[in-house]
Chain A
């Protein structure tokens, strides 16, 4: 195992790590410095690993009929994914586009986001479409694993029952079986260690699916605001859905989601195996994420964002959510006005209230750690309107 240590200071510049000057936060939350030790195997950086084959490229696909009468349309999702993948890769045949990322011998983990029950989760038609695409390049169902931290959220959305026979659905909080061998959800040898708020357990362990079983990860996050990290996109879906014991990083109104999300994504198994990100923005959330109990804060964006660079995709997501919040007339995700702090109940009622000073800066921090492009002028943002 390799051990790398990152030290971040809140606002006054960084401690020297040999990684350049790193800082986090926007100056409002007055957090102490944070030291994060990453214990992970040393793996050569794959060209497919983040930021992947197409750094800085984001394909935004819109289909007006992707929701019909409140139902996500499988036919529209099929068109959106096919056209989006062709635009991302430059291939003219969808199967060839997918073959840039996976080979038949791969074990592919699909990371979904099931935490916004009901309705604002990675939609079943998108998961089925990705499974069909993997099948088209020769990956059999038995080598496909749909996973998340929370088995109850997976099940309440029906992933266990609605994916094709043979596909494994794994909630990391439950034991699961691989060819008769029972396995725990997390690898005790791969972890991030840090003390955020004096918590007793300072380690967060990585999913065994990621550390051991999968050779590739297809990331299917949702286009959602998050009350602590600003947005829950590619980076947060990977980091906080693959490591355990992560809720400890935010104690209202303060949050260490920046930089923890970014650092977790640098852990070698996660960074090297996550080869493609398809963000589900068919239904999107501009406030009270990730759970979004109040349907007033959900809108039908009818959009997928596709790329290999999670920073660039999350940056475009941030722009979309900010634009929506401006249109509604509610504070920016970067807002630091203490009068806009409130309880979780306040947040459910008002789009101007949040329990946290949100920290979307984790996206920029991830760029500084080499995971992708943050600056808009470095992002090749292609918009497709299909259907």
Chain B
């Protein structure tokens, strides 16, 4: 199924995890198109495809809403709270659930197609590559399942929780783990390709750009590793741990730190280009376009900066978020807040 330019089909827009948006919105949204108050918190990010916004909620439902009106198309009830950002693949929308199951639902009607079982809550977003669905779980296992049936192909047990959404490309699949390691596994078998040991947990979801894997760690460092070998190309130290996944565009890497700064580094060598004024603490991933980078803060705002200078361009004070990323298109900005309100803004 062809994607539109404005489709955001999984966490950070697309499966390359670059968080890149084609939108060049230099001014802030100033008009409410619609808003929907969901029954409980939204911890995940909304995704957008073919005129529908899909959002998971801790009330145990995934909602499909018309992107123009916010009107509910369907909702599907899973077995427990949902913290996982959904992914769209063909006619399926896939997401993990706190009941330990990965769900695949028909995205036109919201009917269950299959489930795949894990041993613990699934907070990661499933990643689909070559008809295989990859997902980690808080039980410490990383699994590969068949996209058409959910049948588990292989599983690897690690020593910590996996809350880092994987990146799959070519022959390898990459993810972080709270055991302090970044793993590169062979996608076909689950065997180790390489492992990088950081100083503490890696919760952030890796991004890969120009052959470099990019991810921050609780050990205060942001790492750039050779995606083929795991060799450290460079690392950059912040003032606290890093939970926020990175976005990459125009030779720059962006991520938030728990120290409250949004950082912009040079992809080539990790040199700091700019950092924002401290925003108390940042855990959500940013999204980066060719001229703007946006991030949702824990304490109440979505903020946009010039990618080159770090100048603050606009902010929307609509409610905070821990992990949600806004969808930024030229037509609209869609954002979900931790209290459970989904906004469409123009």
Contact = CB atoms under 8 A, between A and B. Distances in A.
Interface stretch (A36-44, A162-170, A192-200, A251-259): A162-170
Interface of A: 70-71, 117-119, 124, 151-152, 155-156, 158, 160-166, 174-175, 177, 180, 182, 293
Nearest first, the 10 A-B pairs at minimum CB distance are A165-B140, A161-B163, A118-B281, A118-B258, A161-B203, A165-B139, A162-B201, A155-B322, A117-B281, A118-B240
A117 B280 contact: yes
Contacts of B219: 71
Interface in B208-262: 218-220, 239-241, 243, 258-260
Contact of A161 (B80, B81, B161, B220): B161
B161 A165 contact: yes
Contacts of B123: 160-161
B178 A118 contact: no
Given A155-B322, A175-B81, A177-B99, A71 B283 contact: no
Contacts of B259: 118
A151 B220 CA distance: 23
A71 B322 contact: no
A177 B80 contact: yes
Contacts of B16: none
Which DSSP category, helix, strand, loop or mixed, fits chain B's interface? loop
Contacts of A182: 80
Contacts of B190: none
A152 B322 contact: yes
A174 B41 contact: yes
B201 A158 contact: yes
19 contacts: A70-B220, A71-B219, A117-B280, A117-B298, A118-B281, A124-B218, A156-B283, A156-B298, A158-B241, A160-B163, A161-B243, A162-B161, A162-B178, A164-B160, A174-B40, A174-B58, A174-B81, A177-B81, A182-B80
Nearest to B280: A293
B80 A162 contact: no
A71 B259 CA distance: 13
A150 to B, nearest CB: 11
Interface string B118-155: 00100100000000000000111000000000000000
B137 to A, nearest CB: 9
Given A71-B219, A156-B258, A166-B139, 16 more contacts: A118-B240, A152-B322, A152-B338, A155-B323, A156-B281, A156-B298, A156-B322, A158-B203, A158-B241, A161-B243, A162-B161, A164-B161, A165-B120, A174-B40, A177-B98, A180-B99
A161 B124 CA distance: 11
A117 B240 CA distance: 11
B183 to A, nearest CB: 15
Interface of B: 40-41, 43, 58, 80-81, 98-99, 120, 123, 138-140, 160-161, 163, 178, 201, 203, 218-220, 239-241, 243, 258-260, 280-281, 283, 298, 320, 322-323, 338
A182 B58 CA distance: 12
B281 A166 contact: no
A161 B201 contact: yes
Nearest to B140: A165
Nearest to A125: B200
Q: Which residue of A70, A117, A182 has the most chain B CB atoms within 10 A of its CB atom? A: A117
A13 to B, nearest CB: 44
Contacts of B99: 177, 180
A67 to B, nearest CB: 13
A161 B281 contact: no
Contacts of B201: 158, 161-162
Contact of A152 (B138, B161, B178, B298): B298
Contact of A158 (B81, B139, B243): B243
Contacts of A180: 99
A272 B160 CA distance: 33
A158 B123 CA distance: 13
A180 B97 CA distance: 13
Nearest to A182: B80
A242 B203 CA distance: 28
A43 B124 CA distance: 43
Contacts of A155: 43, 283, 322-323
A68 to B, nearest CB: 11
B241 to A, nearest CB: 7
A166 to B, nearest CB: 7
Contacts of B140: 165
A118 B238 CA distance: 13
Nearest to B79: A180
Given A119-B240, A152-B338, A174-B41, A166 B120 contact: yes
